[in-house]
Every structure is written in structure tokens, then in C-alpha cells.
Amino acid sequence: MGEIVDLDRLVVLRRRWRREGKRVVFTNGCFDILHRGHVELLKAAKALGDVLIVGLNDDDSVKRLKGPDRPFYPLEDRAVMLAALEAVDYVCPFSEDTPLEMISRLAPDVLVKGGDYRPDEVVGRDVVEGAGGKVAIVPLWKGRSTSEVIREIVGRFGRTG
């Protein structure tokens, strides 16, 4: 089971992993309503290295990015669910709209995003590539997105369900 940690703790761990030659992979997101697309992305990300860190938007940043009705699950619930996934080693909440500070401080070896991004759109790409790392884009699972899950629920049960 993964751990939920703060950024300062991860920075200390990152130094150790670098000395040990471990390949650190980073991805991030809201992970609002966990679904198979998320699980597949995280499994693919973990396969690219030794340690997978997931940056997790806090509730206020999710609201700013996704709208006033989100997140569906509060930060603590989302963090616990992510940490319980086999592929995830560490979950680190952040309050900014992007994980740039986290990426800059950790300098992961691999920065992973889903196929809805192009490499030139990935926040932190310049930091990671500048440190000798790479950006990996993982294909999306068709029909597996949070927006599609929400549409399906509303379609089946209406807004009052």
C-alpha cells in the first residue's frame, strides 16, 4: 500500500532514491471519481520506473479547474483510494492549479500524462527534460473518463437520482 506524504518528505526520499539509482516516475491529477482509465494510466506509469509518485490536486484546486460541483470525493478519500492501488507508491496533495513546484523540487526521471495531452502541453516538461528525464504520454482508455462516468450516472439516474 502506498503512503500519503507531503512534498518536503518526498524531497528527502528523492535524494535517497537518486543515490540508490532508482528511477522515479511522476504523474498528477484530480482523480475525482476513480475509474479504470485512472487505474490503467497508473499501472502504465509504474511500469516506467521504480517509484511512482502521484501529485493530487486538493479540493480547492479541483473546484477551480473542474467547477463548483467537483470534486465528488474529498481530498482525504481520493488520497486513500489512490494510495491503496498496487501501482502507487506515494500520493502527495498540492494546492496549486498545476504541479510545477512539485515537479521542480522532485525532478522526476519520467513525467507521465494521459493521451489527452501533447508533450508540449505537459506542465513541467522543460524541468524534467532539462534534468535529463523524459515525458511519456500514455494512451487513454476509450470511454473511460470522469466526465463520461458523470454523464452515465446522470443519464441513468438523473440529477436527483
Listed residue (59, 51, 58, 54) closest to 27, CA to CA: 54
Q: How confident is the model at residue 127 (pLDDT cuts 50, 70, 90)?
A: very high
Residues 39-62 have a mean pLDDT of 97
- What is the reported pLDDT for 157? 81
Number of residues that make up the chain: 161
pTM of the model: 0.91
Residue 159 has pLDDT above 70, yes or no: no
Q: How confident is the model at residue 144 (pLDDT cuts 50, 70, 90)?
A: low
- What is the reported pLDDT for 105? 98
Fold of 3-157: Rossmann fold (3.40.50)
Domain ranges of the chain: 3-157
- What is the reported pLDDT for 154? 72
CA 132 to CA 110: how far, in whole Å? 9
